[in-house]
Amino acid sequence: MNYAIFRSEPIYTLNDLAQIGSHNKREKKAYNSNPDIKLELTKNNIELVPLDSKYVKGFHEITKEYKLEHDERMKTEREDRKRTYSQMLDRSKNVVADEMIFTASPGFFKGLKNKDIKKWSDTCMEFVYQDLGYKKEQVLHATLHMDEKTPHIHCVVIPLVKKLDKRTNTERYTISKKQYIRDNKHLSDLQDKYCQRLNDKGFDLERGIKNSDREHIRIKELKKITNSLNKDLGNKHSRLEYELNEFNESLKDKKNILFDKDYVKVKKETFDSMNRVIKEVDDLMDVQDRVEVVLGEVKDQVDSYNTLERKNKNLTNEVKYLKQRNDELEEENKGLKDYIYEIVEKLIEFFRKLLIRGNEETKDIVADKVKDIYDENLFNNKDVYKTSVGTERQDELFEYANVPSYMKQPIKSNYRDEIDKDDDFDIGF
């Protein structure tokens, strides 16, 4: 189950707008040490609506007529009420811009081709124009980020409109997000339309837990989902434990791994067992993706219910329950990530030894398997680096996984240096 995700986040000051622009356009030096952003992949980001200048400069270009109108009005304003254009914007209760974020559950993008991701992003922009009603000249900047864990779109719009000023009975410019997203109920309706538009284009996505005035029902829905996830996680862990034990036992049997002077051969049963382990890990990661989606939903619910507690004491126990389930899911998710990391390290060690000691046929099979696992996002380019650096398949796998060229090393002339002299091949868990 993959979810369509659309959020709207108001921007209230020009300084905040500038900060968001620096993030969206990758202008901060801090990104060099940010583990969530892979700068080597930033070249794959796509400018859906380009902006050559800084965000604030682009904002002033879009709103220049609004500024002229404001400056003209200030000429006849009392001295103690005069404000510069920027002061007026920052002190106003209105937004200066709105940032819309479009994405989906991580599992949706797994194995999705670049042309399909581009089709998805174009559909998101169709939603901005056709369902939300923004004109292209109101879009300050829109970019598709491909350099983070999950692809997502940042679309920043300036909801500049002309409205009737009842006091003067004249039309005046203003920036009003409510002209496009009136309230939470309207936002919920728009999220329905967003999901439907994606499904109409052939994308198999579910609507997230629907925002409703019937808050108590939403809690029950979340309880049902979290309980189901806990059960599913337990089943997946049990299956993975079983397959890991089978794989470990097959490695301990020296008859399953045959050595001669120059090569190592692994019996088909052992290789098949390893493939079953990989499949179970992949299934477990899919559950983890769903856990992360539900964690986001739970967090939203906890935040909103902190306010509702003051209005309705009968909801207190429900809020406590959600907080507890949220903590339990976060702990489960942390343990799951550690568990998967350990398995990945063991697979890297296993594949590396086969690339070093295996015959050419074995190396072909392993190289193909590493590529498949990389495509499934179980390995990242650092994992591919650790698996293949210094082996004969280094260049082939480095190129496939976009490993930076500066990390390449000369191929070693003697691979046996990494294997103990007694041919110990035990990589038990």
What does the domain layout of the chain look like in residue ranges?
Answer: 3-207, 215-418
| Res 229: pLDDT | 67
| Res 144: pLDDT | 96
Token output for 406: 């500066």
Distance CA 184, CA 11 (A): 17
pTM value is 0.53
Token output for 153: 């779109």
Range scoring the smallest mean pLDDT among 11-25, 79-93, 170-184, 335-349: 335-349
Q: How far is CA 324 from CA 19, 223, 292, 318, in A?
A: 34, 11, 16, 10
Distance CA 8, CA 10 (A): 7
Token output for 333: 């998710």
User: For 363-415, how does the pLDDT look when each residue is reduced to its tens digit (9 = 90+)?
Assistant: 999 999 999 888 877 888 889 999 999 898 998 999 888 888 677 666 654 44
- Cβ atoms of 115 and 20 within 8 Å: the answer is no
Instruction: Answer whether residue 245 shows pLDDT above 60.
Output: yes
What crossing angle do the helices spanning 268-308 and 316-357 adopt, rounded to 10°?
160
Q: How far is CA 55 from CA 15, 23, 29, 93, 158, in A?
A: 10, 11, 17, 20, 11
| Res 415: pLDDT | 47
Q: Report angle CA 74, 78, 83 to the nearest 5 degrees.
A: 45
What is the number of residues in the chain?
429
* Strands annotated E in 12-137: 46-49, 97-104
- Please count the other Cβ atoms lying within 10 Å of the Cβ belonging to residue 428: 10
CATH number of 3-207: 3.30.930.30
Could you tell me the sign of the dihedral formed by the alpha carbons of 108, 114, 120, 125, in that order? positive
User: For 72-119, how does the pLDDT look when each residue is reduced to its tens digit (9 = 90+)?
Assistant: 989 988 888 889 999 999 888 789 999 999 999 888 888 889 999 999
Distance CA 379, CA 405 (A): 18
